[in-house]
A and B are shown apart, each in its own frame.
Chain A
Amino acid sequence: MLPSLRAFAFSLSGNIDRADDLVQETLLKAWQHLDKFEEGTNLRAWLFTILRNSYFSELRKRRREVEDADGKMTASLSVAPDQQGHLDMQDFRKALATLPPEQREALVLVGAVGMSYEEAAAIAKCAVGTIKSRVNRARAKLTDVLGVADTSAFGADAPISAILGREP
């Protein structure tokens, strides 16, 4: 439970120290409100919900403080694969950080945690269609930022240069 909570927190915040703080906050809140947890319901989903609520409420607080300076900067950030067409983890993390937080959340819940759209929608408190649309937009943005072409047209063994649409 703790490892996947941490991984979720890290995927949202992009910072491992912040992730650990979020998990700590989540555990404390969970225990304070243990009476609100219904036995037999999904404990993981409940903890994920508390964690994302903490993350987003802090984000709103911080946004009010620093206006949108951060967002404007990351929005213009573009990350291109290196000359070998190698997409390394550092580039991927940077690209993930350029996504609007709501899109990042949807993408991580569905694409990394492996939740259904319904589960993800329950956690993000939005419609299933909204989750789908956020995942789609996140996917498009990442593809755009990283310059990775949709590989569905290529076989799994397609050379990286074909996938990336550039010469090696």
Chain B
Amino acid sequence: MNEDDQLPVPAGSDKGKMKVEDASALPAQLGQKLRNLFADVESQPVPDRLSKLLEALAAKEKDPE
């Protein structure tokens, strides 16, 4: 998921206190819950007002007045 493990951490940015360097070290249960919460909303149908707005804006862009 993150590809920056080999990148240097800016000096002093973590104040030497943080031991966990990677979000994948989020306790498994929490990481899963976070992704589930996100996916739940993602899988819901988008309300009409938003998709219609997107259509209207796209149409406006094609035919600028």
Contacts and interface: CB of A to CB of B under 8 A. Distances in A.
Interface in A125-152: 127-130, 132-133, 135-136, 139, 142-143, 146, 148-152
A37 to B, nearest CB: 12
A-B CB proximity, top 7 nearest: A129-B13, A112-B38, A7-B41, A129-B10, A7-B42, A92-B33, A3-B42
A132 B9 contact: yes
A130 B36 CA distance: 25
Contacts of B63: none
Contacts of A102: none
Q: How large is the interface on B (under 10, 10 to 19, 20 to 34, 35 or more residues)?
A: 35 or more
Q: How large is the interface on A (under 10, 10 to 19, 20 to 34, 35 or more residues)?
A: 35 or more
A132 B41 contact: no
B34 A4 contact: no
A66 interface: no
B14 A87 contact: no
Contacts of B26: 107, 111, 139, 142
Interface stretch (A49-57, A68-76, A113-121): A113-121
